[in-house]
Structure 1
Amino acid sequence: MATPVRIPWARPAFGEAEIASAVAALHSNWLTMGPRVAAFEQQLAALAGRRYAVAVSSGTAALDLALAALGIGPGDEVIVPAMAYIAAPNAVSYQGARLVLADVDPVTWTLDPAEVVRRITPATRALLALDYGGAPAHHEALTALAEARGLALVVDAAESLGACFKQRPTVAYGKVAITSFHMVKILTSIEGGMIFTDDQALAERVRLLRNQGEDPQQKYCHLAIGNNYRLSDLHAAIGLAQIPQLEARLAERARLAARYQACLAHLPIQLPCLLPSATSTWFLYSVLVPNRDNVQAALASRGIETRVSWPLPVHWQPCYQALALGSCFPVAEHMAAHVLSLPLYLGMRDDEQDEVCAALEDALRMCL
């Protein structure tokens, strides 16, 4: 029998403010996309320092619409990190474009600009950079590279809303950036996503496509083949209630991450490392450990839940094996074999975190 979980990997954080906001939305009799979605967009655009923010139903929808609005299609190539959540490569495939993988940096675990240079061809149209675990990618170098080559930089900030690189929000980088409001994210609307850009035409295209391609001036007249990627006012109401809490949430996660860094520094594992002048949301606190599966099982036997984010690099996913046949991305492969994401959540007590550290040290001693 499995040991009951005593220390979870993550825990949603909701309070009376979210409940009151959701109830108010229910009493308003306007639950579909409406005034609360518009307010959510306006507040997030201001937070991001972008001219436009467009709310959608998920981070996956945001990636799909971002590439679609950029006009990515058959014959185009989009470079994606080989270690990425499946939504990123899938968004490229949705467009009928060619997915091109590049290895990640062995220190930051984000898209390696040097590897990107090696993968660019005359068909390359965009770079899709993911902020792994909430830590910024090499956005300055990738921005310079994209501008020099005439490419669109798409920033997948699904895990990094609130993080900064060189005092600039991660979602302020790129021709377009996206984030996610999934239940376990730092700021959540239960489900949802947002697209950020400074390009008016691109924002208008995204708004058109998220609403079935319907002409905003003429109901049931469809100018393009779109989708139902709308966010509801009920979801936006929950997100709006969480915006004032974002700064405190980030500070608490940073405090917990700093405690992990100090407590685990003496162990024979690789700890997460940020670029200079970068701050992280610490959505994940991932480490690379030897004998990962045995270590994870040892922690589970003590009621400590962990996650493997992620166990397969993109080219090892069954749905992409044929596409990437014969490809080798050694950093992503090493990471997938050793990565382990430790518990980190709002409300985590110091004694719980100390127990995780002690249990990890015991597991390493037992498994080495």
Structure 2
Amino acid sequence: MSATLPFIPVNEPLLNGNEEKNLIECIRTGWISSEGPFIKQFEEEMAGTVNRKFGVAVSNGSVALDAAIVALDLSVGDEVIMPAFTIISCAAAIVRAGAVPVLVDADPVTWNMDVSKITEKITARTKAIMVVHIYGLPTDMDKVLEIAEAHNLKVIEDAAEMHGQTYKGKPCGSFGDISTFSFYPNKHITTGEGGMILTDDEELAERCRSLRNLCFKAEQRFVHDEIGWNLRMTNLQAAMGVAQLERLSEFVGLKRKMGSLYNSQLESTTGIQIPHYRTDYADNIYWVYGIVLDESVPFDAKEAMKRLSAEGVGSRPFFWPMHEQPVFMRSGLFKNQNYPVAERIARRGFYLPSGMAITESQIQHSAASLKKILNAR
């Protein structure tokens, strides 16, 4: 481990704005639960940021997907097309509703769902497409929306990693019937834990509000026609969210500066794939700075992360493909299915320290450490 630098965490949020002031206001006024005024403010400001009419704040990004699936009335046997390469929350929400996730392999350049393979997955039971923007570049939404319109499918846009990102100038989170965000500490905007559902459909928004709050009947509390959840965000969390959202443009600039610094250090390094700079529809926002080892490298991501840790550098593995998740394999899902791109980048992909508070010296040390372990092979 370096003698001059302490261990570099994979993520460290930046909380030096109005977070403390807003939290003190919550404590002084007593508004610490989900009834406080910062909730509505955060919902309205987040909706405005992504050009949506309605925002529904919830306790995390995973349950935002759960509520979105149920609100769209997706049910037993309905098929939802989604990426093979993503976090398990996406497939779990579909499975919990009794619906069936149908997988599409990743694009080898952007790591997003390969939209050219969506149509071949459509059957008479297909009811929706779940888009998940991965790591820094958005999915090609024009193609997705064109397919959805042609086949009368709902579109769920998981924009958890895309705070401040745009697709052809339009905010990520503004597409499809319903979209979701996460505010986990490694996101551009954090509330510690937290999430939000966004839509332009007032009925969908109201349904999500009901599901968020145990489905109390409007005319009589503690009477329920349906089982919902307690998915409420607290006023304390929303207070942080309001403060963070004030600095979104600044945070996007910091992330792109981070990506540019890593690029300058690593773009000529052999044996690795670094994040794609840009597509025809977006510049990379570098939610994380991902690395995929070439087949010429004689070790995999797990070994690379172990070696980086010895150099004082934190890292995280890429997502593991849905068809190789033990919990789904035991239930018989995705039997005999193969998604070679997702399998390869899962085994050979990881990301370097990418937090909002990362310094230039930490980036330089992380990049130098990666080159060192590659040269030592």
Same topology, TM > 0.5: yes
Whether the 8 Å contact between 1:5 and 1:305 is mirrored in structure 2 is no
State how far apart, in whole Å, the 2-side matches of 1:217 and 1:53 are. Answer: 23
Partners in 2 of 1:295 and 1:153 — Cα distance? 37
Q: Tell me what 2:13 maps to.
A: 12
Paired letter, 2:211: L
More displaced stretch, 167-176 vs 257-266: 257-266
2:34 and 2:234 in contact (8 A); partners too: yes
Q: Distance in 2 between matches of 1:280 and 1:69?
A: 31
1:250 — aligned with what? 252
Q: Is the 8 A contact 1:183 1:189 kept in 2?
A: yes
The corresponding residue for 1:315 is 323
**Paired residue for 1:84?**
86
User: How does 1:183-202 map onto structure 2 within 5 Å?
Assistant: 183-202=185-204
What residue identity is the alignment partner of 1:285?
Y
Identical amino acids, percent of aligned pairs: 32
SS of residue matched to 2:139 = coil
Task: Give the structure 1 partner of residue 28 of structure 2.
Answer: 27
Unaligned runs of at least 5 residues, structure 1: none
Counterparts of 1:204 and 1:134 in 2: how far apart (Å)?
31
Asked if structure 2 preserves the Cα contact closer than 8 Å seen for 1:103 and 1:112, the reply is yes
What is the number of residues matched between the two proteins?
366
Could you tell me which residue of structure 1 aligns to residue 72 of structure 2?
70
**Alignment correspondent of 1:270:** 273
Q: Which of 315, 338, 348 is 1:306 aligned to?
A: 315
Secondary structure of 2:317 counterpart: coil
C-alpha deviation, 1:15, in angstroms: 2.3
Following the alignment from structure 1 to structure 2, what is the Cα–Cα distance between the partners of residues 257 and 20?
Answer: 31
Q: Determine helix, strand or coil for the equivalent of 1:278.
A: coil
User: 1:171-220: CA deviations, max 9, x gaps?
Assistant: 01111110001122110111110111111111111111111111234322
Most deviating of 3-12 and 239-248: 3-12
* Letter paired with 2:132: L
* Contact residue 136 and residue 279 of structure 1 kept, 8 A: no
Partners of 1:244 and 1:16 lie apart in 2 by 9
**CA deviation profile, 1:214-248 (whole Å, cap 9, x unmatched):** 12343222232211011111111111111111110
Distance 1:359 1:235 in 2: 36
Distance 2:27 2:172 in 1: 33
Contact 1:159 1:281 in 2 (8 A): no
1:229 corresponding residue in structure 2: 231
Of the three residues 306, 328, 335, the one matched with 2:345 is: 335
Task: Select which of 172, 197, 201 maps to 2:174.
Answer: 172
Shift of 1:5: 5.8
Q: Residues of 1 paired with 2:15 and 2:360: CA distance?
A: 20
Which segment is superposed worse, 318-327 or 248-257? 318-327
Provide the C-alpha distance between the structure 1 equivalents of 2:216 and 2:288, rounded to a whole number of angstroms.
Answer: 38
Structure 2: distance between partners of 1:111 and 1:91? 18
Q: Give me the whole-angstrom Cα distance separating, in 2, the residues matched to 1:14 and 1:261.
A: 26
Conserved 8 A contact 1:161-1:170: yes
Separation in 1 of the partners of 2:151 and 2:183? 32
2:207 partner SS: helix
**Per-residue displacement from partner, 1:315-351 (whole Å, max 9, x unpaired)?**
1110011311211001100111110101112232222
| Distance change (3 Å), C-alpha of 1:313 and 1:5 | farther
Aligned AA (1:27): R
> Cα deviation per residue 1:298-328 (whole Å; 9 max; x = unaligned)?
2111111111022x21111100113112110
TM-score normalised per structure 2? 0.93
CA contact (8 A) 1:134 1:161 kept: no
Alpha-carbon shift at residue 16 of structure 1 (Å) = 5.5
Matched, 1:284 2:288: yes
* Range 264-273 or range 161-170, more displaced: 264-273
In 1, Cα distance between equivalents of 2:125 and 2:247? 43
Question: Are 1:362 and 2:340 matched, yes or no?
Answer: no
State the Cα distance separating 1:27 from its structure 2 match: 1.6
In structure 1, give the amino acid aligned to 2:361.
D
Aligned to 1:324: 334
Name the SS for the 1:99 alignment partner: strand
CA distance in 2, matches of 1:279, 1:213: 41
Q: Aligned to 1:209, what secondary structure does the other structure show? A: helix
TM superposition shift of 1:278? 0.8
> d(CA) in 1 for partners of 2:6 and 2:135?
23
- Give, as a single letter, the amino acid of the residue that structure 1 aligns with 2:60: S
Alignment RMSD: 1.7
Consecutive unaligned residues of structure 2, counting only runs of 5 or more, are none
Confirm or deny: 8 A CA contact 2:10 2:314 kept in the other structure.
yes
